[in-house]
Chains A and B, each alone.
Chain A
């Protein structure tokens, strides 16, 4: 009886260790964009999803990347502009470590990002995170004012 209990607890511990190891590895590898089942878990861990995600860092990440990658429609290319829409289109994320409670808020909608623009031609995004405790995701739309 005590032997079977010992085995059961051993299996539980090993299973837990494997789960933690795999989740940690996937987090570190930046593969979260590919694993649908893990997306929810890892999105709530302060990481993000986007069409283009460069390799991230678990301790510190700060980069800009394309949000839009379709540049030609009916033979007409996308005009590059220096005019950016609203700088206030962003969301914030804060996670309390160990108890794993997280809070996210903000507006990174394209409508907000397009404020002050007459037409929006393309968009980039900016992602910043420190230890996945604090994350910021911002959208920059470019076009004509």
Chain B
């Protein structure tokens, strides 16, 4: 019985480990096995103009052990050649916590 309990807790901990997760202001439900979605980063929408251009910048993490990249606003704006930012989304991709990417997407003109 105790071995089973230990197994269940261990499996749950492993699932959390493998699922990986990030911290953002807005986060839709994510899948432990597979996640690929886009969600708002800037959620304070008041008379916000709609930008026609977009630019992105990305970081990646492998097995939760090594992470690197540049998902800064500055790099995303430079990528889209954006002079004025009106809003931002992010994209999150995760397969079993083995490979994860986080992308900042800014919108503007």
Contacts and interface: CB of A to CB of B under 8 A. Distances in A.
Interface of A: 14, 18, 21-22, 24-26, 28-31, 33-34, 49-66, 68-75, 77-80, 122-124, 126, 140, 142
Contacts of B6: 14, 18
Consensus secondary structure, chain A interface: mixed
B22 interface: yes
Consensus secondary structure, chain B interface: mixed
B47 A70 contact: no
Contacts, number: 186
B84 A21 contact: no
B21 interface: yes
A66 B72 CA distance: 5
Contact of B49 (A31, A49, A77): A77
Contact of A55 (B44, B70, B88, B102): B102
A53 B59 CA distance: 10
Contacts of B2: 14
Given A65-B59, A122-B73, A57 B23 contact: no
Contacts of A74: 46-47
B54 interface: no
Interface residues of B, number: 60
A63 B69 CA distance: 5
Given A29-B64, A70-B42, A77-B84, A54 B22 contact: yes
Contacts of B64: 28-30, 55-58
Given A60-B66, A69-B41, A52 B21 contact: no
A105 B83 CA distance: 35
B67 A80 contact: no
Contacts of A126: 72
